[in-house]
Each structure stands twice: as structure tokens, then as C-alpha cells.
Chains A and B, each alone.
Chain A
Amino acid sequence: MAQARLDRREQITGWAFIAPALILLGLFMIYPIVWSLWMSFQVGKGMNLSFGGFANIVRLTKDPVFIRALGNTFTFFIFQVPIMIGLALLFAVALNDSTLRFRGLFRTAIFLPCVTSLIAYSTVFKSMFATDGIINQALMALHVIASPISWFGDPFWAKVAIIIAITWRWTGYNMIFYLAALQNIDRSIYEAARIDGVPAWARFRYLTIPMLKPVILFTTVISTIGTLQLFDEVANFTAGTGGPSDSTVTLSLYIYNLTFKFMPSFGYSATVSWVIVVLVGILTFLQFLIARDRRIKS
């Protein structure tokens, strides 16, 4: 849109429209972010803080719970995000066939989980994961397992349960993005490929994936940010402990416990929170890099 230079009055009006938002963002977002960066170099208990330089960063490297939390967060990220993105893609491609019957029904059903609150669904899952509960019974009836799994009594299975739950909640959400993107793809490309005898898997690999790449990148970045901030589900499943024996504690849960449960050390918990910021930055950058790299190859 060719727009003439704004005159003085329009300049003022422009600022007036965005002023309320800017003031609020400044007060409740930018100021706290800057403060927490400053805080992360402070040591001490409660509000009795003094400048400690890199003391908090040194403390991070010697803190077994932090290292646990970092490891757990990464485990959730590495296993959960690819499984979820893969399933979402699979369902989206399956549902994109306009000759399929009950498409709307399938789509609504798979999308339905993301209507629930994180607390509501993790409560429901917690009751399903009970040792004599419905999930163990179903798995035993299908002969997948011989004896019931103690889902929240075992460090390994507790992680699996959380991954299953998160995947249930977010797969449909990601699927909707892929479906929307698939519907924008020119179908004649597929038709041409099909007539040329390109098999279905190759059409998926060399047509669908490259064309969906921007959306896949976008959803991966969103999921990365979400997983690194994982809090609600773990807090609800484990009554805020991250148990058994810290096997499910995440960075966000640890920050919360550091600030509000243990002896409050605001400086140190701010340092842990900046670890998340740095990780989000690095991982987002890497994902952009990988996406660009693939484009050059293909």
C-alpha cells in the first residue's frame, strides 16, 4: 500500500493507539525480563541479595537437581517433539484425501484434546495411569505387558507416561496446522506426479515434506518452546515434586520450587530461568539452520 508520509497529527494518533499496550508490556514484561537478568547475577536468600558475579553459574554446574532437570527436559524434548510431529503429519496427510469418508468426524476427534486445560487432562490421565487402572488393564488384555506397570513409581515409566500424555494433548493441534497448509498446496502437482508413476511414499517425501517445511519448522519451534517450559503436567502428575526421585523434574518446575517452596533464592532461580532462554535461542537457531540446509540440498 503506497502510503503518504504521516503528518504530525497522524503520528500522535499512531502512538496513542499503541501506547496502552506498550506501557503494559514495558511494565509487566520488559522490566521483569531486564530485572531477572540482573537478578541472575545476585546471590543471597529472599530479598537480601548482593552482587555475586558468576557465582550462580558456578552453582549451576554443581547442582545435581539442576543437571537432572536439564537432562529430563531434554529427554522430553528429544522423544516427545519428533513423535508428536510425526503423528500429526501422518494424520494430516491421511485426512487430506477428499475421497475419505467421515473426514470431519476424524478431524474433530483428533483435534478435541487441545480443548482441555493442561490441568484437567493431566488429572484425567493420572487416574488412568493408576497401577490397577484402565491403561495397565488394556495393555495386559492386549498382551503388551505381563504385569502392571507402576507408572509413577518408576523413573523410566514416569517419563513415558508424561510423554504419552503430552502427545495426546498436542498432536491434534499440530495436525490442524499441517491440514491448513496441505489445503493450500496445488493439487495438480500431485496429480501430475501420480500420472508419472511416482509412488505414494516418494510423493510424500519429495513433494509433501518440502512444501510443508515452513509449517513444520514453525510447529517445531513452537513445540520446542512449549516443551522447554513444561510445567503444568509434571506439577500435576507428581504433586509438584517432580518425582520419583527427581526423575521428572523440569527446569520450570525447579524454578518454581526454588522460588516458592525451598528456601527462596531469587537470584539463583533467575539464573535457571535464563538457561531456558538461552536453550530456546540455541534450539530455534539450530532448527532454522537445519531447515535452510535441507533447502539447498533439495
Chain B
Amino acid sequence: MTVSTADAVGTRPVVVRSYVPGNPWALARRALVYVLLSIAAFLSVFPFFWMMIGATNASADIIKGKAWFGGALVANATTFFTQVDAPRIFFNSGFIAVVATALTLIISSLAGYGFEMFRSKVRERIFAFLLLLLSIPFAAMMVPLFVMFSQAKLVNTFAAVILPTVASIFIIFYFRQATKAFPSELRDAAKIDGLKEWQIFLFVYLPVMRSTYAAATIIVFMGNWNNYLWPLIVLQTAENKTITLILSALTSAYTPDYGMILFGTVLATLPTLVIFFLLQRRFVEGMLGAVK
């Protein structure tokens, strides 16, 4: 036998087969797996389908469970756009999410790089302490945070929404983990070439780590776009609210107009759905990586 065949045998992934042709039990089990997964997939996707048909139906039909497309799309859109200052609200959501994401990536990646590249006893202790802080829920800081921002007269500003989110321990940790894979020869070579540390970060590290940045961008953007509790506390006038807050306020009405609300929900979900389908692999990587 040649070496190459042996190699091929050695590296070939061994396939786990629960299905052996001809065995009736295995056949039944395989059928069961398909049925189970089909039901799960159907139930997972159905609410998306429901949201889209809901956007085309009148509220009365929606709460009667009408499960097919109707003719109320234009009416729903009209109601939505007259009740909600949509351009303004989507601008708010977009502005907050984009600025917060950019700042988070800059500040947290700098810190992740710093913690990994310049190790010292004190900084390792600080890092361990930060990881401990991760388990403290937001509820335990929201009351003083609100008092702080109201004393600083920053309530109802975008700064109040953005500032507490930009130093994310999660993302610092994510970048530190990713930096472990950054080839140190690159940094050494750049140093010999006389680059300063900030230049290495900007011109060597950043381009090399772009897939890490991409994955982190998705996670942070989604988190900001969907954020609810903190914006609910600090954004108080209607013209400063985000789409998430508006949707929640509309749903809280005594008799919610579901047609119009589901139309708005489709609009609010669209950006994250598009990101997901365009960058599915990165998306999943980011979710796994951010907490690995």
C-alpha cells in the first residue's frame, strides 16, 4: 500500500452513521429524526411567516388567526407611517447602533490587544476582576446609572444610551482571545521596521484581524439595535425613541393595532435578517467566539 492511501485513510473523517440501509429499526429512527427536525424547523420559522402575513392583514383578522396574506398592507403601512415618525425613529435606532458599535469596537479591541500583548501581573489581575464583573446583572447598576445621567443633565440624549455600552467586557474578552492567534512574528517584524506600537495596531493588527472585527461588528450591532431596557429608561420623548421602544409602546396599547404593529416589526427585523443571511458564517462564528 502506498503512503498516500494510508494518509487518506488516516485523515478521512469517520462518518457516524445511525442509518444502516436495510435495518427496519434504523429506518424508523431515521424517519423519526426527520419528523422531529421538520416540526422544529416549522415551528421556528412560522412566527416569521406569521409576522409577514400579519403585515398584510387587518388587526381584527390577525387576532382571529387568519393565516394567509390579506389586502391590508397599504392600510397598515399608512397607519404606521402616520402614527410613527418612521424616518426619525429609524434614524435614531441606526445612529445609536452605528456610533455605539464603532466606539465599542475601537475601545474594546484596543483593550483586548493591550491585555494580551503587554502582560503584567497587575493587568492580569484586573482582567480576572473584569471577568468576574460579567456575572453582575445590569439591574444592579441601572438605578445609579440613571441618577448619574440625570445629574449630568444627559437624560434623553443619545450619549446616555451609548456611553455605558461602549466598554464591553464581553468584546474585550473576545478580542483578547482572538489576539492569541495573531502571529507575533508580524509584530516583531514591524518593530524592526521601526513602527510604533499604535502604528502596528493600526496598520498590521487591524487588517490581519478583519474577520474578528466583522464577527464582533455583527454581535455588537445587533445588541445595540435590539437594546430595550436601558434606552427605555433614558430616552423619554417620542422623537428620541428607537424603533424597539416604539414597537413596545404600540403593543402596550389597550387594543393594539396588530396589522400596523406587525408591519413595523417587519421593518425593524429586516436589518438583522439581512445581516444574518449575508454573513451567516461570520454571524455564527461571532456568537460562538464572543463567549468562547
Contacts and interface: CB of A to CB of B under 8 A. Distances in A.
Contact of B288 (A136, A177, A273): A177
Q: Ordered nearest first, which 5 A-B pairs have the shortest CB separation?
A: A17-B114, A14-B118, A117-B226, A24-B167, A21-B111
B202 interface: no
B153 interface: no
Given A90-B36, A134-B65, A117 B50 contact: no
Interface string B135-150: 1111111111111100
B145 A255 contact: no
Contacts of B164: 28-29
Contacts of B172: 21
10 contacts: A22-B111, A29-B141, A47-B147, A110-B41, A117-B272, A119-B244, A130-B63, A228-B137, A229-B139, A259-B143
Interface of A: 1, 3, 6, 10-11, 13-18, 20-22, 24-25, 28-33, 35-36, 39, 47, 87, 90-91, 94-100, 105-106, 108-128, 130-137, 168, 172-173, 176-177, 180, 187-188, 190-191, 194, 200, 218, 222, 225, 228-229, 231-232, 235-236, 239-240, 251-252, 255-256, 259-260, 266, 269-270, 272-274, 276-277, 280-281, 284
Contacts of A97: 16-19, 33
Given A229-B137, A236-B252, A120 B247 contact: yes
A13 B18 contact: no
A119 B228 contact: yes
A136 B63 CA distance: 10
Contact of B284 (A1, A117, A176, A272): A176
A27 B18 CA distance: 55
Nearest to B42: A109
Given A21-B108, A115-B273, A190-B16, A28 B142 contact: no
Contact of B229 (A137, A177, A251, A256): A256
Contacts, number: 291
Contact of B133 (A30, A127, A135, A136): A30
Secondary structure of the A side of the interface?
A: helix
Given A6-B120, A187-B13, A277-B136, A232 B148 contact: no
A133 B138 CA distance: 35
Contact of B135 (A108, A124, A284): A284
Contact of A120 (B41, B269, B276): B269
Given A176-B288, A260-B233, A277-B136, 16 more contacts: A20-B167, A22-B167, A31-B148, A87-B40, A106-B37, A106-B40, A111-B44, A115-B272, A116-B269, A124-B47, A126-B251, A130-B62, A133-B62, A200-B18, A252-B139, A270-B140
Contacts of B64: 130, 132-133
A97 B48 CA distance: 27
Contact of A119 (B44, B136, B138, B226): B226
Contacts of B47: 113, 121, 124-125, 128, 168
Contacts of A87: 40
Contacts of B167: 20-22, 24-25, 28-29
Given A20-B110, A97-B33, A124-B51, A280 B135 contact: yes
Contacts of B107: 20-21, 24
A94 B14 contact: no
Most buried by A among B64, B167, B225, B265: B167
B137 A276 contact: yes
A274 to B, nearest CB: 6
A137 B15 CA distance: 43
Contacts of A35: 144, 147
B151 to A, nearest CB: 9
B291 interface: yes
A274 B140 contact: yes
